């Protein structure tokens, strides 16, 4: 998949995660796919970045200090300009039922850590498969 | 209260059976008295009839015409008639020493022609039913009681008498000249009847009293047993309540400890995933070549780091699965599913593993396996992946086969490999956590030792069974039976 064909090419993506390693890995992989990546270490910072750049996609952890992922999605749902932006959960909480809870809360989809670099972009596209902005016909 | 009514048994018995016994004694006594009196009347009537015939035969020649025509006479004339006096003498003679205490003779028209009591002569008895019966040739008798009675010998007191009306028909003739009434004194016989009656009543009372006593003992014994059992039941109940409370407490403790364990594992799993994410992520990025070229030796090491990380992840996932199952938190997510789709997903994963080892991997699903069944597709998929990846892991050459059949009420999933097999002694514990055939094989065949334990627990949660047939050196077959309902409403759900 070359950068020109990538669905992420030149798109703003905000990644919110309190684990710097997780943040860096996702950033490297998304930048490789051509995305313009903005990072934040908690929900509050993340919301500020989202409001500033109005990204095409948000990748967000659930449990974070200061402001968690649940509050982020709640704030975004309440904002008409932000509520159409797909937010994908990336969490280490792999408990049954979490997936349903996140979808109910308004998240677009749900991915679990650890992420596998060889498959991450593909997994992300599958998670976004119904979204028109990332709908690639291959 | 139940226990109170239970112990009123003796009281109920005493009252009801006493009433019943009194009624029974009076009933039997009165029946027997009536029977005795009827017998007495029958016997005395017979003897009265015979006596009347004797008197008829004696008096008929001399007094027959007098009796037949006496009705025409004036009462006073009749009373003063010398013929009547003669008749009186003869009758008194023939009744002397007998129990007959009085005789009356009536003319055919009912007028009293003769009586030992002169005052009664001339009385009209034509309407008396006894007289009417006797005039037509029958005999009628009645038992009567008199305080005072005018007998041949004058007034007597306190008498039981059987009076019989008999036709005055001398032997050898068909003519009825009138009616004779014979009064038989049965007072002594009645005394005998009453005496016998007293004996019968006494006997009955004795019998019923004995019966009552026997029954009383049976009933009170039964009540004692009941009371003792009631006592035992109450004691046992109290003990049970105590045991129940203890069990409940123990159960709460166990549930709490299971919850804590599960919570701990969940937290641990989260905490382990975070560093693991870095291990797998960074090593993955280097392997992908995103950061540029890496020399072959370093790349090999990085790949080993990545593989170990992935192995650790599987281990964590499995431990988490087991913990969920054991804390009872695992809930089956059942919905309409097609096993063919599940197998397609599994096939892709196992195919790669098998090809890497040069093994043949084949799947076969019988045509009659329903398109749609109600089941937990993710758990069934996990069962197949665990069994099949195990099969591939322990097979060096040959094949791994998945065969699925439908047996009326259950689905049969069979995984057969041509691998090293499992010795008989190990077949019992192979489904336990962290157990492989021997500890050295853990090193030869990398694995968590949890795969089969999870399979067993999933199968049990689905109320299915798992069987193992294996021979060392020639391979193993795992047979899983899952009782699944066929989805009938959505046959097209395929």
Q: What is the pLDDT of residues B449-469, one digit of tens each?
A: 778 888 888 898 899 999 999
Closest to B393 measured CA to CA, from B433, B420, B430: B420
Residue given tokens 């305080």 in the structure block: B147
Residue B87 is predicted with a pLDDT of 85
Q: Which residues of B touch A113 (CB under 8 A)?
A: 273-274, 276-277
B285: which chain A residues are within 8 Å (Cβ-Cβ)?
Answer: 25, 28-29, 117
Give residue B441's pLDDT. 47
Please report which confidence band the pLDDT of residue A97 belongs to, taking 50, 70 and 90 as the band edges.
low
Q: Which of B273, B284, B324 sits opposite A116 (nearest CB)?
A: B284
B331 touches A at CB < 8 Å: yes
Q: What is the average pLDDT across B141-155?
A: 86
> How many angstroms separate the CA of residue A80 from the nearest CA in chain B?
34
Residue of B nearest to A116 (CA): B281
Higher pLDDT, B36 or B173: B36
Optimal mutation site among A59, A113, A114, interface B, most CBs of chain B within 10 A: A114
Q: Give the pLDDT band (50/70/90) at residue B478.
A: very high
Compute chain A's Rg from CA coordinates.
14
Does B289 contact A at CB distance below 8 Å?
no
Task: Tokens for B410, please give them.
Answer: 């259950």
Q: Give B369→chain A minimum CA distance, Å.
A: 29
How many residues belong to chain B? 494
pLDDT value for B491? 47
Q: Tell me which of A71-80, B120-129, B356-365, B440-449 is least confident.
A: B440-449
Whether B423 and chain A come into contact, CB under 8 Å, resolves to no
- Of the ranges A21-25, B208-212, B231-235, which one carries the lowest mean pLDDT score? B208-212
Tokens representing A73 are 């999605």
Instruction: Provide the pLDDT confidence category of residue B168 given band limits of 50, 70 and 90.
Output: confident
Selected residue with higher pLDDT from B388 and B333: B388
Q: Which residue has better confidence, B46 or B66?
A: B46
Residue range B176-195, pLDDT digits in tens? 888 999 999 989 888 988 89
Would you say residue B283 has pLDDT above 70? Answer: yes
Whole-prediction pTM: 0.50
Residue A75's region, left for phi above 0, alpha for psi from -120 to 50, else beta, is alpha
Q: Which of A98, A117, A112 is nearest to A27 (CA)?
A: A117
Q: Are the beta carbons of B287 and A118 separated by less than 8 Å? A: yes
| Residue B89, CA distances (Å) to B59, B95, B113, B155, B464 in order | 11, 10, 15, 18, 120
- Please check whether residue B266 is in contact with residue B320, taking contact to mean a CB–CB distance below 8 angstroms: yes
Answer for the pair B400, B381: CB distance below 8 angstroms, yes or no. Answer: no
Contact map slice: A 67-106 vs B, CB within 8 A: 92-96
Q: What is the mean pLDDT of residues B231-251?
A: 92
B interface test, pick of A25, A111, A117, A119 with most B CB neighbours within 10 Å: A117
Q: Name the average pLDDT for chain A.
A: 86
Tally of CB atoms within 10 A around A89: 26
Peptide bond preceding A114: is omega within 30 degrees of 0, i.e. cis? yes
- Picking from A25, A94, A95, the nearest residue to B282 by CB comes out as A25
On the question of pLDDT at A1 being above 50, the answer is no
Q: Identify the three-state secondary structure at position A3.
A: coil
The Cα–Cα gap between B455 and B477 comes to: 14
Q: What's the pLDDT tens digit per position in A36-90?
A: 999 999 999 999 999 999 999 999 998 888 998 989 999 999 888 888 899 999 9
Torsion of CA B299, B284, A132, A91, to 10 degrees: 180
pLDDT greater than 70 at residue A3: no
B113: Cβ contacts below 8 Å, ≥ 6 apart: B66, B67, B70, B71, B78, B84, B105, B106, B107, B121, B178
pLDDT 10s digits, B398-425: 999 999 999 988 999 999 999 888 888 7
ipTM over the 0.85 cut-off: yes
Reply yes or no on whether the pLDDT at A4 is more than 80.
no
Check B285 against A28: CB less than 8 A apart.
Answer: yes
pLDDT confidence band for A13 (50 / 70 / 90) = very high
**Which residues of B fall within a CB distance of 8 Å from A94?**
269-270, 273, 317, 320
Calculate ∠ Cα B419-B424-B429, nearest 5°.
95
User: Interior CA angle at B366 toward B375 and B394, to 5°?
Assistant: 80
Residue A136 has pLDDT above 60, yes or no: no
- Give the pLDDT confidence score for residue B415 in this predicted structure: 94
User: What pLDDT score was predicted for residue B1?
Assistant: 43
Question: Is A64 in the B-facing interface, judged by CB distances under 8 Å?
Answer: no
């Amino acid at each position: 998949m070359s950068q020109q064909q990538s669905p992420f090419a030149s798109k703003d993506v905000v990644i919110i995660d309190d684990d710097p390693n997780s943040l860096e890995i996702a950033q490297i992989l998304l930048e490789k796919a051509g995305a313009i990546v903005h990072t934040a270490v908690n929900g509050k910072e993340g919301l500020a970045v989202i409001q500033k750049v109005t990204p095409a996609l948000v990748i967000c952890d659930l449990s974070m200090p200061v402001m968690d992922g649940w509050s982020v999605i709640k704030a975004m749902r309440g904002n008409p300009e932000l509520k159409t932006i797909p937010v994908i959960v990336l969490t280490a909480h792999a408990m049954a039922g979490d997936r349903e809870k996140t979808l109910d809360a308004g998240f677009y989809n749900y991915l679990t850590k650890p992420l596998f670099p060889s498959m991450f972009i593909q997994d992300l596209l599958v998670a976004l498969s119904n979204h028109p902005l990332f709908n690639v016909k291959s | 209260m139940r226990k109170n009514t239970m112990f009123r048994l003796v009281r109920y018995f005493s009252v009801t059976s006493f009433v019943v016994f009194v009624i029974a004694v009076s009933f039997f006594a009165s029946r027997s008295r009536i029977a005795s009196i009827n017998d007495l009347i029958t016997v005395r009537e017979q003897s009265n009839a015979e006596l009347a015939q004797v008197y008829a035969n004696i008096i008929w020649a001399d007094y027959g015409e007098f009796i037949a025509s006496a009705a025409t006479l004036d009462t006073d004339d009749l009373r003063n008639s010398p013929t009547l006096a003669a008749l009186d003498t003869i009758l008194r003679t023939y009744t002397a020493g007998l129990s007959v205490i009085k005789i009356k003779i009536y003319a055919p028209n009912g007028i009293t022609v003769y009586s030992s009591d002169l005052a009664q002569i001339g009385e009209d008895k034509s309407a008396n039913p006894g007289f009417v019966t006797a005039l037509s040739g029958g005999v009628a008798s009645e038992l009567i009681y008199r305080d005072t009675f005018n007998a041949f010998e004058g007034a007597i007191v306190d008498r039981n008498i059987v009076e019989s009306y008999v036709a005055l028909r001398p032997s050898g003739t068909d003519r009825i000249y009138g009616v004779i009434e014979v009064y038989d004194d049965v007072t002594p016989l009645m005394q005998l009847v009453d005496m016998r009656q007293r004996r019968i009543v006494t006997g009955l009372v004795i019998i019923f009293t004995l019966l009552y006593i026997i029954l009383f003992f049976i009933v009170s014994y039964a009540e004692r047993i009941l009371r003792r059992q009631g006592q035992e039941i109450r004691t046992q109940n109290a003990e049970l309540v105590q045991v129940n409370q203890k069990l409940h407490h123990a159960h709460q403790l166990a549930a709490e400890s299971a919850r804590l364990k599960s919570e701990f594992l969940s937290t641990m799993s989260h905490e382990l995933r975070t560093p693991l994410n870095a291990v797998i992520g960074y090593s993955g990025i280097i392997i992908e070549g995103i950061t540029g070229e890496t020399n072959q030796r370093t790349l090999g090491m990085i790949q080993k780091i990545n593989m170990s990380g992935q192995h650790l992840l599987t281990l964590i996932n499995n431990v988490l699965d087991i913990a969920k199952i054991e804390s009872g938190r695992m809930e089956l997510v059942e919905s309409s599913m097609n096993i063919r789709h599940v197998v397609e997903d599994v096939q892709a994963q196992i195919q790669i593993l098998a090809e890497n080892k040069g093994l043949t991997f084949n799947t076969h699903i019988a045509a009659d396996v329903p398109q749609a069944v109600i089941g937990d597709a993710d758990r069934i998929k996990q069962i197949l992946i665990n069994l099949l990846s195990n099969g591939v892991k322990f097979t060096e050459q040959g094949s791994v086969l998945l065969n699925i059949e439908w047996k009326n009420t259950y689905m049969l999933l069979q995984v057969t490999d041509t691998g090293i097999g499992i010795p008989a002694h190990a077949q019992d514990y192979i489904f336990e956590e962290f157990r492989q055939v021997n500890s050295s094989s853990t090193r030869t065949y990398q694995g968590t030792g949890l795969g089969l334990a999870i399979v067993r627990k999933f199968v049990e949660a689905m109320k299915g069974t798992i069987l193992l047939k294996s021979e060392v050196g020639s391979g193993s077959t795992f047979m899983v039976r899952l009782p699944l309902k066929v989805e009938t409403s959505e046959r097209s759900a395929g």
